Amino acid sequence: MQKKQSHYANRYIIYDSAVVGEINEHIFNPESHQEKGSLMGQALGRGTTYFIDVNGTQCVLRHYCRGGMVAKLLRDQYIWAGIQSTRAWREWDLLEHMLKMGLPAPAPVAAQVVRKGFYYCADLITRRIEDTQVLSAILQLSSIPEEIWQKIGATIKRFHSAGIYHADLNAQNILINSDNQVFLIDFDKGCLRNPHTSWQHQNLKRLLRSLKKSQQIFTAFHFSEQDWQALMDGYQNS
């Protein structure tokens, strides 16, 4: 990675020049990508996630959006408390840390923060982890073998042992590729924590709640108590 930073007017940008080359704010604009044919697709969630091509590298562009009731008032605005405290800067730093540790997570490509008085808006671009499917989508179609559940548990344990707290650990943020490798994505509000304290148990409970909630939402969702036990076996034995 060749990390560089740019700051002009009210705009702050951090980026990997090895991927991006020369930086400008248009890289964070989906319309600009559409005009030049580098917009490859999109997915809907709390906000729209865009799949873009950055100089031949497949990437993911995400604009930070709020959830819950506050989103009706401040959909994409956050209180300014300095650049290092912004969501984009903190997620970039965490992703860079995980990249150096060799953890299976997206590599950061570029982040932008635009200050607007007491508030700011932000965007993040990461490398796309290709040839993967979202766990929740897989489970809507079929069950998965015990050994994959064990790999999910072992992968989560790698992050926990490294002190990585995932603030939204759920079935939407776990990817599996064709070689059955497991990845975690979306580390917004994630942070480093002491791995020798007890927060890991609550993190796992959050994942379990998301799996059980999906059982209630979807007509077909292939998840059982035996699956969870296999995940925990992988977690505890790794």
Catalytic residues: 168
CB-CB contact of 217 with 137 (8 Å): no
24 three-class SS: coil
Q: Where are the beta strands (DSSP E) in 37-147?
A: 39-44, 48-54, 57-63, 78-79, 108-116, 119-127, 132-134
185 three-class SS: coil
Please tell me the distance from the alpha carbon of residue 52 to that of residue 33, in angstroms, as a whole number. 7
CB-CB contact of 176 with 154 (8 Å): no
CB-CB contact of 185 with 175 (8 Å): yes
- If one counts every other C-beta atom within 10 angstroms of the C-beta of residue 206, the result is 14
